[in-house]
Amino acid sequence: MTNPSPDAPPIQAQGLAKTYKVGFWFNRTVRALQSLDLQVDSGQIYGLLGPNGAGKSTTIKILMNLVRPSGGTARLFGKPVEDAETRRLVGFLPENPAPYEYLTGREFVTLAGQLSGLSGHELDGRVTEVMGAVEMAGAEKLQIRRYSKGMVQRVALAQALVGRPKLLILDEPTSGLDPLGRRQMRDLILAERDKGTTVLFCSHIIPDVEALCDRLAVLVGGRRVREGSVQELVSAQVPTVEMVVEGMKPEDVRGLGIPLESVQALDGRVMLQVADVDSQRLLGGVLGAGGRVNRMQPARFSLEQLFMDTLKESGRATSVGGEINT
Amino acid sequence: MSAFTAMMWNGFREARRNRVTVVVGVFAAVVLLSSTLVTEVTVATFDRVLTDFGLGMMSIILVFLTIFLSSSLLSREIERRTIFLVVSKPVSRRQFLLARLAGTMLTLGVLLVAMTLVFLSQLLLFGATITQTQLLASAGLWFELLIISSVGILFSSFAGPAVSAIATTGMYFTGHLTGDLYQLASRSESIAVRSVGKAIYYLLPNLERVNFRPQATYALPVDASTFLSGVGYSLAWTLVLTTLAIFIFERRDFR
């Protein structure tokens, strides 16, 4: 068996699908993932964004060989994910990681290093290095059962880093962390990227995705509905203008008959969004009706807005989870 | 240290830090030492009572611990999701399962050696004779525990800890009765009963093949071929049961 090639794309998936059988008689199915194509190139931070049950964690579990796909293929560094050797180049941080609680933080990271093939002085040095990097050197001799959630998350990240991975797969890495912890986690991910490590991470925390990702895919209901760089995805949206109007009520503005993206009453003022092509017509209408335009500027598109729009388009703004068939 | 050895030592370390193992170890030492009280009410056959009680207690305590450790070995890792951080390393599921079994057997082996030393010390203290059969009975117990652990791991590969523990306990009792069931069934006039008796005998492990405690109690010799065939029988069943467990475990989804 040949070794995984560090020059091959870190992640390649084609037509990936997963259907779970559920119920007492396993007579119902949940389609958690449907025909997912994914390629993550070397050195990228690639984000998987989606609501709960979108298929993000299922994708990651297939890549880590924790779950067997019902269809399609997945390869890490050119080798099938079933090949244990591929994981020598991979560091994995699962969602809500559960390290062995009877071990100390250092013992656990040492075990992870041994499983990654390190030994002797190299192992000792590397464990000290990563425990320092995640700022856990001071608590490394404490049993993990005494750790807070944030400390567990840090130790779990340390075990992912100990084998000097070329690919980091992180499932909700900032979940449950306080703002400082989130910031530190983000800095650590960026530092790894700067060292040349490829990162795949999934999250439903949009600011994290926006701050970190070079490229991202939006998953909804087990399908990929958007893919591209943050810039590409955001600029593909219809440009809109934000306007603040005084001397009119929301219903007066709506009464002008111009289609509005949103209308919000704000303490005697009305804040509204309108498509750029309709903005001049609206301006004329407001002034003609005796209103006063306090502010008018192009709206800044955010990933959050794109995400919400995507959910609405998919008809899943309120529902979560994969497709359930009975 | 190889990944396999690291996982095996970790299994041993887990058992060592587990309160149940520690309590069982201390309890075993106390029970073995208290067997001297039994000798107080013994008029004759002093050696026999000491051997019977000592080996019997070792068996009961270690079988209890084996069922406790093995029946939750895999299912607990899956339920607590600790397995995610291990099988995401460059180790195969087969390696993981075998290393966990090896860790359990190492724990049981260390406890068995410690208990045997306490037992032999008692024999020496009371001037009783130490026989080769007593040592073979102690070694045979380890091979019996190996079969029980393999049964526990097999159930643990697809069922929860409670179901695994109940099924493994059932297999332990059946395993000691298969010979008797076979004898009873073979005396029946019904072909169906005889077939069922035969099926149970051949389809389930016969734990009496590695049980040399009765011979040790009555100071009967156990020849090398009997002992080695028991060991071979135990290893063959372990191979069958762990192969089946690996087959199931490699196909499981960890959700």
Amino acid present at A324: I
Q: What is the mean pLDDT of chain B?
A: 91
What's the 3-state SS for chain A? CCCCCCCCCCEEEEEEEEEEEECCCCCEEEEEEEEEEEEECCCCEEEEECCCCCCHHHHHHHHCCCCCCCEEEEEECCEECCCHHHHHHEEEECCCCCCCCCCEHHHHHHHHHHHCCCCHHHHHHHHHHHHHHCCCHHHCCCEHHHCCHHHHHHHHHHHHHCCCCCEEEEECCCCCCCHHHHHHHHHHHHHHHHCCCEEEEEECCHHHHHHHCCEEEEEECCEEEEEECHHHHHHCCCCEEEEEEECCCHHHHHCCCCCCCEEEEECCEEEEEEEHHHHHHHHHHHHHCCCEEEEEEECCCCHHHHHHHHHHHCCCCCCCCCEEEC
Split at pLDDT 50, 70, 90, the class of A326 is low
Read off the pLDDT of residues B163-172 as tens digits, 9 standing for 90 and up: 999 999 999 9
Read off the pLDDT of residues A137-189 as tens digits, 9 standing for 90 and up: 999 999 999 999 889 999 999 999 999 999 999 998 888 788 888 888 899 99
Interface contact A64-B91, CB threshold 8 A:
no
Interface contact B84-A156, CB threshold 8 A:
no
Contacts of A102 in chain B (CB under 8 A): 13-14, 17-18
Kindly list the strands in the beta sheet with A240-246, ordered across the sheet, starting from the edge strand earlier in the chain: A262-266, A269-275, A240-246, A292-298
Residue showing tokens 């059932």:
B170
Interface contact A163-B89, CB threshold 8 A:
yes
Q: A interface mutation test: which of B5, B89, B100, B248 has the most A CBs within 10 A?
A: B89
Read off the pLDDT of residues B102-113 as tens digits, 9 standing for 90 and up: 999 999 999 999
| Average pLDDT of the segment spanning B7-18 | 91
Interface contact A100-B82, CB threshold 8 A:
yes
B14, B84, B89 ranked by CB distance to A116: nearest: B89
What confidence score (pLDDT) does residue A239 get? Answer: 74
Complex ipTM above 0.90?
no
Read off the pLDDT of residues A54-100 as tens digits, 9 standing for 90 and up: 899 999 999 999 999 999 999 999 999 999 999 999 999 999 899 99
Split at pLDDT 50, 70, 90, the class of B28 is confident
B6 part of contact set with chain A, CB < 8 Å: yes
Whether B193 is in a domain gets the answer no
Query: Comparing A229 with B168, which gets the higher pLDDT?
Result: B168
Q: Distance (Å) from the C-alpha of residue B151 to the closest C-alpha of chain A?
A: 24
- Give the count of Cβ contacts less than 8 A between chain A and B: 79
Split at pLDDT 50, 70, 90, the class of A238 is low
What confidence score (pLDDT) does residue B245 get? Answer: 96
CA B5 to CA B100: how far, in whole Å?
10
**Torsion angle of the four alpha carbons A177, A179, A185, A188, in this order, in degrees rounded to the nearest 10:** -160
A319 pLDDT higher than 50: no
Nearest residue on chain B to A87, judged by CA atoms?
A: B90
Give the rounded percent of residues in chain A with a pLDDT score beyond 90: 47
Reference B22, options A166, A224, B30, A196; nearest CA is B30
Contacts of B86 in chain A (CB under 8 A): 115
What confidence score (pLDDT) does residue A132 get? Answer: 94
Q: Distance (Å) from the C-alpha of residue B217 to the closest C-alpha of chain A?
A: 40
A85, A94, A111 ranked by CB distance to B81: nearest: A94
Q: B interface mutation test: which of A22, A115, A124, A155 has the most B CBs within 10 A?
A: A115
Q: Do A204 and A34 meet the contact criterion of CB atoms below 8 Å apart? A: no
| Average pLDDT of the segment spanning B219-243 | 95
Report how many domains make up chain B.
1
Nearest residue on chain A to B79, judged by CA atoms?
A: A98
Report B:86-105 residues touching A (Cβ under 8 A). 86-92, 95
| Average pLDDT of the segment spanning B51-70 | 92
B29-35 long-range Cβ contacts below 8 angstroms, 24+ apart? B29/B114, B29/B115, B29/B118, B31/B57, B31/B61, B32/B57, B32/B58, B32/B115, B32/B118, B32/B119, B32/B122, B33/B118, B33/B122, B35/B122
3-class DSSP state for residue B14? helix
Whether B172 is in a domain gets the answer no
Whether B203 is in a domain gets the answer no
Q: Do B209 and B222 meet the contact criterion of CB atoms below 8 Å apart? A: no
Split at pLDDT 50, 70, 90, the class of B129 is confident
A318 pLDDT higher than 60: no
Classify domain A238-298 at the CATH superfamily level: YebC, transcriptional regulation domain (3.30.70.980)
Amino acid present at B204: L
The CATH number of A11-234 is 3.40.50.300
Tokens coding A221: 């209901």
Interface contact B253-A20, CB threshold 8 A:
yes
Reference B91, options A75, A85, A98; nearest CA is A85
DSSP, res B188: -
Kindly list the strands in the beta sheet with A223-228, ordered across the sheet, starting from the edge strand earlier in the chain: A90-93, A167-171, A198-203, A45-49, A215-220, A223-228
B1, B84, B87 ranked by CB distance to A114: nearest: B1
| Average pLDDT of the segment spanning B121-128 | 85
CA A246 to CA A254: how far, in whole Å?
14
B19 part of contact set with chain A, CB < 8 Å: no
Reference A6, options A160, A217, A181, A198; nearest CA is A198
**What is the helix (H) or strand (E) element at residue B246, kind and residue range?**
helix B224-249
Tokens coding B205: 């492990």
Whether B176 is in a domain gets the answer no
Q: Distance (Å) from the C-alpha of residue A62 to the closest C-alpha of chain B?
A: 9
B80 part of contact set with chain A, CB < 8 Å: yes
Please name the residues in contact with A271: beta carbons below 8 A apart, sequence gap of 6 or more: A242, A243, A244, A245, A263, A264
Contacts of A66 in chain B (CB under 8 A): 84, 87-88, 253-254
Contacts of B13 in chain A (CB under 8 A): 102-103
B154 pLDDT higher than 50: yes
Amino acid present at B58: M
Range of the domain at B136: 3-166+210-249
B119 pLDDT higher than 70: yes
Interface contact A20-B255, CB threshold 8 A:
yes
CA A197 to CA B41: how far, in whole Å?
74
Report B:172-231 residues touching A (Cβ under 8 A). none
Split at pLDDT 50, 70, 90, the class of A316 is low
Contacts of A121 in chain B (CB under 8 A): none
The CA-atom distances, in angstroms, between B180 and each of B32, B168, B187 are 30, 19, 11
What confidence score (pLDDT) does residue A42 get? Answer: 93
Report B:235-254 residues touching A (Cβ under 8 A). 251, 253-254
> For residues B136-148, b (16+ Cβ closer than 10 Å) or e, as one string?
bbbbbbbbbbbbb
Provide the CB-side half-sphere exposure for B72 (13 A, CA). Answer: 12
User: pTM (2 decimals)?
Assistant: 0.84
First-residue to last-residue Cα distance in chain B: 30
Burial of A176 (0-12, 13-18, 19+ CB in 10 A): middle
| Average pLDDT of the segment spanning A256-268 | 85
Contacts of A96 in chain B (CB under 8 A): 81
Tokens coding B110: 């260390």
Read off the pLDDT of residues A2-54 as tens digits, 9 standing for 90 and up: 566 767 899 999 999 999 888 878 888 888 899 899 999 999 999 998 888 88
A1 pLDDT higher than 70: no
